[in-house]
Structure 1
């Protein structure tokens, strides 16, 4: 058995106001209606219920006995509707303060935390509430998938190319460097390592789908003639694992300068210059093409572009 449709809440509010002593004209004004439109709303409710709710005369409208009963019943309904409205408004405000970000591993470990910290500080200084941030750290392929599926409103990639179904905004650049252990033969080279020798050498690498690995492979492919990277000597899931492996005598690695800065400064790793290979890659914010960032996601993206000096033209 189907349930009857709920009554017109506006008509009930008009009825309650009249039962509380307001004229129909005043009750209509409170709801943003003319007196004639308000009378029509109540009349439609009367036809639906099959009872007369208001007694109309030249002196105005007064509630009938049935009208007073219905007005009393309506109080709980209207109170519940008001609570629902407040709750939905709160939910909408909470959603505007929430942002889901997916970022490539290097960016997630070294840059996104800085951007989030400065953003929170900026909001706090302006008296704003702390945003609710969900950050997913994954490889570049995982970032693309998360943005495509809507699991993240915005992604941060460190690959030279972006799929055509995503819109991208470059917010910076990151340099890849070839690193070896201090005792490795390349550590004492007097000149740059030839690109062909690098390509022919199995490296300690991230898994396929990693932005760092893809950027290195594409840098070799852009050479004239193009080179193909050898299969990795080892595939490891994190930059930290690669740094330790290389520092303790494992195969060399091509890694982000950001991720290796501390180890290079401490002498645990040694940078090796490479001839003729452009190992600089862009850092980009990405979103689904044809969609607009809103709320906290847009605010955070604008903050990142401001911090990185890439805001003009947004």
Structure 2
């Protein structure tokens, strides 16, 4: 083999090595690109699956079916129950979202260039007009949604699952004393009975206990607001309860039954309970005939013994 042939052969080896290295680099780059594409596809699929899982929709709620038995729920029934509970809880989330949306539209008068549904030549003048015609939301409902969304947002951020009915009961406190007072009242009740035992009825009764001259300011320290509320409620609960003037269900049923018998005797149609009460009061107050008065007197003596 000549020197020239050796040199050429050596040069060919170097060139082949360089080509092999370039090929390997290209292959590695292609593999990295494909791996990246696979990872991106997997990530996109994961995102898509998460979005689909979070998407609300009637198609995700099981159709109503008869129970599979009278005992414990089957695995399938538990699955249907969980899906339906999530659907019900969406109502609370939708409430706050709708309220904030309406308030944002109203505050910024974002409806001002929207053509009126029935009179296209003009635009809407108020949020109530737009909400009513476009979405069937009454003026009263619109006001309640706008008033309550901040309360719902704060309570949710603090870990409370406060549905619309509960929040509506503390809106008067919010309107009169501010956001901190309303949230403070909810938390006082939650701490007293347990967060899972808070109900709209309990909040309603608690709000009624607040004195009319309660002095609270939204700029006050939250701890001071909580102490003021706790003290006011404690004093209200310590006061003796007013005697109830309402009739028990048993007495109401008895009055209605006797009213039917009375109507039969008089050959009349239905006699309302209020008419019977009017006659009873008149008979009790009759100073010429004390029979009803005497009967009431004897009954009260027996109760007092």
Q: Same fold (TM over 0.5)?
A: no
TM-score range, shorter chain: under 0.3
- Structure with greater strand percent: 1
- Structure with greater helix percent: 2
Name the structure, 1 or 2, with higher relative contact order (CA <8 Å, separation 6+).
Answer: 1
- In the superposition, the TM-score normalised over structure 1's length comes to 0.23
Larger Rg: 1 or 2? 2
- In the superposition, the TM-score normalised over structure 2's length comes to 0.24
